[in-house]
């Protein structure tokens, strides 16, 4: 799993639909998720630390969680099926841990309100993310190609500086 942060809310230029944009810690990948208007307002409100005069839906959920001593350990976006993202809330009450099905937008809104981490499964990031830093991606690919092109068969012979399996490195 990859921990991601909310980079912000954007609008799709063609449809004017809101998109929540998640970014990885290295700012190398961004994951755009289309959401509804109400969820966008809720996420923006949490990002800007706005407190409504009366609790809105996600604030009410946090209040209920507090009253029942439920701790949101993390929001997990775990799959993408037919262009729909799926998420769960990993919630703890005492020693009991439960995973509760949730829309990603609701999971993100709750995670922001409770300062809980947002995690995304690697395969979801691989399938749906967009590169943020193409130059760094290409430099990494080129470094790997250079490494592979310089490997020689004798580099794999035991005693050439590779691990012997005992956790120690042998010197020749």
pLDDT at residue number 141: 67
- In this predicted structure, what is the pLDDT of residue 136? 61
Instruction: Compute the distance between CA of residue 77 and CA of residue 102 in angstroms, rounded to an integer.
Output: 9
How many CB atoms within 10 Å of residue 40? 20
Query: What's the CA gap between 23 and 30, in Å, rounded?
Result: 4
Three-state secondary structure call for residue 48: coil
For 38-48, what is the mean pLDDT?
Answer: 95
Question: Which pLDDT belongs to residue 164?
Answer: 43
Q: Would you say domain 2-154 falls under CATH 3.40.50.620? A: no
Q: What is the pLDDT of residues 83-133, one digit of tens each?
A: 999 999 999 999 999 999 999 999 999 999 999 999 999 999 999 988 876
pTM: 0.76
Domains in the chain: boundaries: 2-154
């Amino acid at each position: 799993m990859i921990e991601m942060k909310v980079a912000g809310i954007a609008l799709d230029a063609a449809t004017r639909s809101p998109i929540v944009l998640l970014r990885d810690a290295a700012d190398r990948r961004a994951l755009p998720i289309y959401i509804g208007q109400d969820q966008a307002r809720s996420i923006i409100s949490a990002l800007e630390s706005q407190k409504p005069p009366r609790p809105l839906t996600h604030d009410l959920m946090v209040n209920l969680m507090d009253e029942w001593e439920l701790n949101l350990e993390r929001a997990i976006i775990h799959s993408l099926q037919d262009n729909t993202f799926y998420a769960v809330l990993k919630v703890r009450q005492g020693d009991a841990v439960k995973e509760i099905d949730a829309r990603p937008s609701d999971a993100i809104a709750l995670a922001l309100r409770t300062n809980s981490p947002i995690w995304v499964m690697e395969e979801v990031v691989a399938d749906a993310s967009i590169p943020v830093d193409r130059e760094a991606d290409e430099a990494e690919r080129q470094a790997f190609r250079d490494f592979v092109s310089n490997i020689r068969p004798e580099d794999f012979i035991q005693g050439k500086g590779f691990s012997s399996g005992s956790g120690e490195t042998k010197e020749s």
